[in-house]
Structure 1
Amino acid sequence: MHHIVPRVIAKPKRKTPIWSKKTEIVSLAFDLIASKDAILYPQYTTGLHAWFLDQVRSIDPDLSAYLHDGQSEKAFTISNLEGNLIVSGQHLHAIANQSYRWYVTGLSKELVQCLEIWLKQLPSTIALRHCPLVIQNCELALPATTYRELYNAELINQTIKLSFVTPTSFRRRSHHFPLPVPSTVFQSYLRRWNNFSGMEFDSTEFSDWVENNVTINRHRIASEKVAAGKRGMVTGFTGMVEFGLSSKREPNPEFEKLYYALYRLAPYCGTGHKTTFGLGQTRACWIEEETIEAPSLQTILAQRIEELTEKFRIQRKRTGGERADLIAEKWATILARRELGESIIAIAEDLEIPYETAKSYLKLARRAINVGAG
């Protein structure tokens, strides 16, 4: 008889990152190991988001509530898991004993101080629903810094390159805007800057300056629609963009310094919206396309939600109105996520609706599909 020997994950030997008391911005990289083979649901970053806020809550409940509800610009970002996640059919698989990397950034002094306390009592495992991830190590992904240091750093005086490694999009007039227009990109960074730096600049004046003086020298981008956050879909872009300053630019030393400071801020704060759910991850370099991983399962889910929403809208067109559209999208989201194997309990929690309501919507959605098929 053969005995199965369980695979043992080595006990981590972790070092705690340290930084000075004046630090206002940190970027942390966590090395994780999956403790078992497990299926990840497409929107697993909502679980990472919730887990992180729960960790903050254990140290500072008021700060956690503020990060969740209290501000338009969030003082943190999180990434997707980087590593060998296997797509099989409609599922994403984490592999036992495989290493994964996860990034968390803090963008305010208050949060950075909380992170310092947290790292000294860091738990051994990230409880990600059915996929526990053992924390092997945590280190600084980028130098700990302050907004003043970013602003006073030596001018680059050359083109700057940014790579958008996860789908990136902006809000414009209640729609998604998936293009790296210079004024839109740098306004995204300036909003964070003005919220957290204590060095506020006039948003309109800087936007006009960027519009008139910053050019796109080259780009290599592609668009993608993904399911992101707790609800809804996002059309975003991934790829690389090289920005430059026009040779005929208007002299403005203050805005030029700000322009380069925001470029340095970009890999910390991410670009666009839903950066607290893994979108808009940004690197201050040119990364070749083949190294940028597309969240294909999120794309599959987004396409299915879109397909189902349209079917339900057509069936409900006699009732019309905005409410009918919202119900159609909610039915589609619940059914599509259930088809990918998520539990009704988990879906209800993410959508912040009662379990019985989610169960009822799922039943109505399945009935509508059967009626349409008939």
Structure 2
Amino acid sequence: MPHSLVLNLLPQSPISPQYLTGRHLHALFLTLVSAVDQQLGDNLHNEKSEKAFTLSPLQINGHQRFSHGIYSLEWEYHKPIPAGTPCWWRVSLLDDTLFSRLTPLWLNLNPQQPWHLGPADLHITGILGTPRSSQPWANATTYAQLYEQASEVDRQIALTICSPAGFRQGQYDSALPTRECVFGSLLHRWNKYSGIEFSGEFLEKVFPSFFDIRTEMVADSRSKFIGCLGEISYRILGDVEPQAIKQINALADFALYCGIGRKTPMGMGMIRRVGVHTKVRP
């Protein structure tokens, strides 16, 4: 059962930009896990293969980033986040076992307990697990519900990539969101965690129909990562069985939880499905 949890945070001291990178947020998550299950925290830390969770960059409440009319998340900061600034942070869990083992963390949350992001102290003031109009990133469902509720007739898939997404191709990375990269990434994670396996033969029926994307570079002290941001739509073309259309739509709905591409446990590749575009862009 995938969960998309939004943690509301309140820094007690300024957070320097150097501690707002994906690497430091990844370390904070492992600290939270280890606080309730040390063995699980150690296992997640040592795991080299794909991990059953994703994280967002830290976000300031009420801040929205627009570029070329497209909404995205903040993934880099050039100034400290001041003390007392309400923030939020999305954690998604793709595995039921992971969620259940972390239940004590959610149930016994102490809003006065400090957690550390670099030298800064943070308080977790609340956790959202269901959607609100002011916070669309919080949600939870079952894989069976995702599949059952997916459309058998909708042939248009519109997606917004909200933090830079890049894809491994052989020995190198690519920032181009081809159908193989996007739907291949979603398919791999769906088959790994859902228990409802899709064959993926339908991918050849998916074609890009609209895109307004750009590249961005994310850098920290260790590495540089080039990914894409923006909006892209795909259309299902040709003679396609309703079951295949349903599977494609289920993957598009699943994107909210699992993200796409590389470094999703460090805030990259956050993506969500949006309504079909109706206006003509210049």
TM over 0.5, yes or no? Answer: yes
What does 1:243-322 align with in structure 2 at a 5 Å threshold?
243-246=234-237, 248-249=238-239, 251-285=240-274
Distance 1:36 1:42 in 2: 13
* 1:258 partner amino acid: Q
Between structure 1 and structure 2, the one with the greater Rg is: 1
State TM-score, norm by structure 2: 0.82
Residue 195 of structure 2 corresponds to 198
Q: Aligned runs of 1:69-80 on 2, under 5 Å? A: 69-70=46-47, 72-80=49-57
The match for 1:366 is none
Q: Deviations over 1:116-155 (max 9, x none)?
A: 2211123433310122222222112433211111111141
Change (3 A) 1:81 1:287: farther
- Structure 2 gaps of 5+ residues are 65-73, 130-136, 278-282
Pair 1:110 & 2:97 matched: yes
Counterpart selection for 1:94 from 77, 81, 98? 81
Task: Tell me which residue corresponds to 2:157.
Answer: 160
| Equivalent residues of 1:81, 1:102 under 8 A apart | yes
CA contact (8 A) 2:168 2:262 kept: yes
Structure 1 stretches of 4+ with a deviation exceeding 4 A read: none
- Mapped contact 1:169–1:177 kept (Cα < 8 A): yes
- Residue 75 of structure 1: CA displacement? 0.6
How many residues matched?
Answer: 254
Whichever residue aligns with residue 220 of structure 1, its letter is D
Residue 135 of structure 1 corresponds to 124
1:145 alignment counterpart: 141
**Structure 1 residues 70, 170: closer, same or farther in 2, change over 3 A?**
same
Tell whether the 8 Å contact from 2:10 to 2:84 is kept in structure 1 after alignment: yes
Q: Is the 8 A contact 1:49 1:276 kept in 2?
A: yes
In structure 2, how many angstroms separate the alpha carbons of the residues matched to 1:184 and 1:44? 25
Partner of 1:365: none
Q: Which ranges in structure 1 are unaligned for 5 or more consecutive residues?
A: 1-23, 289-374
TM-score (norm 1): 0.63
Larger strand percent: 2
1:119 and 2:106 are equivalent in the alignment = yes
RCO (CA 8 Å, sep 6+): is it higher in 1 or 2? 2
Cα-to-partner distance string for 1:173-225 (whole Å, 9 max, x where unaligned): 111110111121011111111111122233xxx1x531x21111111100112
Is contact 2:260-2:269 (8 Å) kept? yes
Change in 2 beyond 3 A, CA 1:154/1:47: closer
CA distance in structure 1 between the partners assigned to 2:198 and 2:106 by the alignment:
33
Contact 2:163 2:269 in 1 (8 A): yes
Preserved contact between residue 15 and residue 120 of structure 2 (Cα < 8 Å): yes
* SS of residue matched to 2:122: strand
Aligned with residue 177 of structure 1, among 167, 174, 197: 174
Distance 2:8 2:235 in 1: 35
Aligned pairs (5 A) from 1:345-364? none
